[in-house]
Structure 1
Amino acid sequence: MKTALVTGAAGFVGRHMEAELLRRGWSVDVCDIDDYAGGIDAHDIFRACRDVYDLVVHAAATAPHRAAIDGLPMNMALDLALDAAMFEWAVRTGQRRVLYLSSSAAYPIDYQRDFATARPLSEAMVRFDRYNIGTPDASYGWAKLTGERMAAAAVLAGLPVHVVRPFSGYGEDQGVDWPFGAFLDRARRREDPFLIWGTGEQVRDWIHIDDVVTGALAVVDADVREPINLCTGVGTSMRDLAAMMCAEAGYRAAFDLREDAPAGVACRVGDPTRMLDVYRPGVSLAEGVRRAMRALVGQ
């Protein structure tokens, strides 16, 4: 039986990754960061564990949502320490391979600041052999960019590492700190006016959590060793997503736009070309919204 360790198992991606690996017949151990109620602290694993896993999925991070990214910049220090401890442990103990969950936040914001200059974000836009690699999105982007640099160092030390860059992952059980989860909760309550942070015109590349997980594992199965986007290549604005949610809930709402709230960059859409060689997303945003609303009705 194949064995895996999933870090960040209390989080959105981590718990779905654990469920998928279990569904595939893997034996899975889990851990999270120190506020994981009743669970094992990842730092304790990295200090003391000598088990060797077929796959280590490193999804743990500190509150990777917009309010924390903009409001808690010192989370960067916590995330860097976590990634450094994981890679040092993985090399020292001879882990068989690591799947590192990076982020689209690692991309230079110069390509995302406004609609006039925005373009699909391709993996080649992040290069460590340049004098200026471009400024990523806030401290969280710097943490993920540095995590990718640690991954490259671990590869030089002999560790097989796969790096994926998920764009805006979403799903029916996502928390309300993320836009999709927050919008779903507002639609459930038939909120009117419907609150949207920013202008509502911010565009994101929404990818269902099923496609994030199965796409990431497809990268591992294909033994791809270069970073790969997990995205759809399709951009949808916050305003349009809110309208889809309201329509699925059976009502129309006015929008309450809070332009002083954290909103992120203007446009972030991925280039799926490299990913399509190994995986093709199967859940459209419309279907994802339908699934989420049906799950609420079933509660």
Structure 2
Amino acid sequence: MKTALVTGSSGFVGRHMTAELKARGWQVTGCDVVDLDGRPRALDALQIFRLDDSPRYDLVVHCAARAPHRAAIDGQPMNLPYNLQLDSAMFDWAVRTGQQRVLYLSSSAVYPVLLQEGFPRRRLHESATDMAHGIEPDAAYGWTKWTGEKMAAAAAAVGLAVHVVRPFSGYGEDQATDWPFGAFVDRARRREDPFVIWGSGDQVRDWIHISDVVAGALAVVDADVRVPVNLCTGLGTRMYDLVDMIRKQAGYRPTIFIDPDRPEGVAYRVGDPDRFWSIYQPKVSLEEGVARAMRQGAPA
């Protein structure tokens, strides 16, 4: 039986990754600072990474990160050193203990902010991460993931099999309200009126269902692709239009309140899907994802 370690296993991506690996017959060990009920775990990822006698897993899926949502990205800069420590400890441990391979969950936040503002609007290709001439990724979280990718390359240079994926705006039925999709669905379930959208409402995102994030990432591993891969659809949808889809599914027409004083993020973040689509084709449309979410209970 194949074995996997999933870090951040109580988080949104981590718990879906754990469930999918188990469904495929893998033996999965999860680690997080808390379990699914919010209780502290006996060992979190940093504690495991200090061990020299760890089992040798067939796959280490590194999902763990502290608060990778917009409010924290903009408002909690001290997450930067914690997340850097987490990633560096993981790669050091993986090399030191001879792990078989690592799937590193990077982020679309690695792409330079200047490529996501103004015109012309462009899809972000995997090559568009040049930080020369003062072009920077999206806030401290983007720097963390960009640096994590550099650590991944260093680990690969000494023989570790590493796969790097860059999810765009992952969403799903059980997403927490710290993320836009989860917050919108929660507001619609409670039939809030007015319905609040942070920022201008015109910011565009590339929404990819969590099932496609997980299946797509594992397809990258199965294909043994060792260059970064966008997990995306290549389709952009405004926050305002997403809210319109959600409120129609909920069957009500609230007043929309645009709150320009809340974090908005970049104007246009849509991935170039060509590399991804040569490996895996997303299965769940945004319309279907919204319908699934509105049929489910409250988000966890």
CA distance in structure 2 between the partners assigned to 1:118 and 1:108 by the alignment: 13
1:145 corresponds in structure 2 to 146
| Residue 50 of structure 1, CA deviation | 1.8
2:15 corresponds in structure 1 to 15
Partner AA of 2:30 in structure 1: V
**Is residue 2:97 matched to residue 1:93?**
yes
2:296 corresponds in structure 1 to 295
Q: Secondary structure at the match of 1:37?
A: coil
Partner AA of 1:9 in structure 2: S
- Equivalences for 1:98-247 in 2 at 5 Å? 98-114=102-118, 116-127=119-130, 131-132=132-133, 134-247=135-248
CA distance in structure 1 between the partners assigned to 2:213 and 2:266 by the alignment: 22
Does the 8 A contact of 1:14 with 1:59 survive in 2?
Answer: yes
Q: Secondary structure at the match of 2:49?
A: helix
CA distance in structure 2 between the partners assigned to 1:83 and 1:109 by the alignment: 23
Does the 8 A contact of 1:33 with 1:43 survive in 2?
Answer: no
2:62 corresponds in structure 1 to 58
**Is residue 2:4 matched to residue 1:4?**
yes
Partner AA of 2:170 in structure 1: G
CA distance in structure 1 between the partners assigned to 2:94 and 2:34 by the alignment: 19
Q: Secondary structure at the match of 1:125?
A: coil
Does the 8 A contact of 2:34 with 2:40 survive in 1?
Answer: no
**Structure 1 unaligned residues grouped into runs of 5+:** none
Does the 8 A contact of 2:195 with 2:255 survive in 1?
Answer: yes
Partner AA of 1:101 in structure 2: L
Task: Identify the range of structure 1 (25-34 vs 201-210) with the bigger mean alpha-carbon deviation.
Answer: 25-34
Does the 8 A contact of 1:8 with 1:58 survive in 2?
Answer: yes
Q: Secondary structure at the match of 1:124?
A: coil
Q: Secondary structure at the match of 1:123?
A: coil
CA distance in structure 2 between the partners assigned to 1:34 and 1:179 by the alignment: 23
| Residue 117 of structure 1, CA deviation | 3.3
Q: Secondary structure at the match of 2:55?
A: coil
Partner AA of 2:39 in structure 1: A
CA distance in structure 1 between the partners assigned to 2:34 and 2:144 by the alignment: 19
1:29 corresponds in structure 2 to 29
| TM value normalised by structure 1 | 0.96
CA distance in structure 2 between the partners assigned to 1:150 and 1:132 by the alignment: 22
2:77 corresponds in structure 1 to 73
Task: Identify the range of structure 1 (117-126 vs 136-145) with the bigger mean alpha-carbon deviation.
Answer: 117-126
User: Would the alpha carbon gap of residues 284 and 133 (structure 1) be closer, same or farther in structure 2, given more than 3 Å must change?
Assistant: farther
Equivalenced residue count is: 295
| Residue 133 of structure 1, CA deviation | 7.7
| Residue 32 of structure 1, CA deviation | 1.5
1:266-294 Cα offsets, whole Å, 9 max, x none, are: 01000000001110000000000000001
RMSD of aligned residue pairs (Cα, Å): 1.6
Give me the identity figure in percent: 65
| TM value normalised by structure 2 | 0.95
1:29-51 Cα offsets, whole Å, 9 max, x none, are: 01114796242310111011521
Does the 8 A contact of 1:126 with 1:133 survive in 2?
Answer: no
Does the 8 A contact of 2:33 with 2:40 survive in 1?
Answer: no
CA distance in structure 2 between the partners assigned to 1:131 and 1:294 by the alignment: 46
| Residue 134 of structure 1, CA deviation | 2.8
CA distance in structure 2 between the partners assigned to 1:270 and 1:19 by the alignment: 26
1:33-84 Cα offsets, whole Å, 9 max, x none, are: 4796242310111011521000000000000000000000110100000000
Partner AA of 1:279 in structure 2: Y
Does the 8 A contact of 1:197 with 1:261 survive in 2?
Answer: yes
Q: Secondary structure at the match of 1:28?
A: strand
Q: Secondary structure at the match of 1:175?
A: coil
1:169-191 Cα offsets, whole Å, 9 max, x none, are: 00000000000000000000111
CA distance in structure 1 between the partners assigned to 2:110 and 2:168 by the alignment: 10
**Is residue 2:256 matched to residue 1:255?**
yes
Task: Identify the range of structure 1 (6-15 vs 39-48) with the bigger mean alpha-carbon deviation.
Answer: 39-48
| Residue 192 of structure 1, CA deviation | 1.2
Q: Secondary structure at the match of 1:246?
A: helix
Does the 8 A contact of 1:176 with 1:185 survive in 2?
Answer: yes
Does the 8 A contact of 2:201 with 2:239 survive in 1?
Answer: yes
**Is residue 2:69 matched to residue 1:45?**
no
Partner AA of 1:162 in structure 2: H
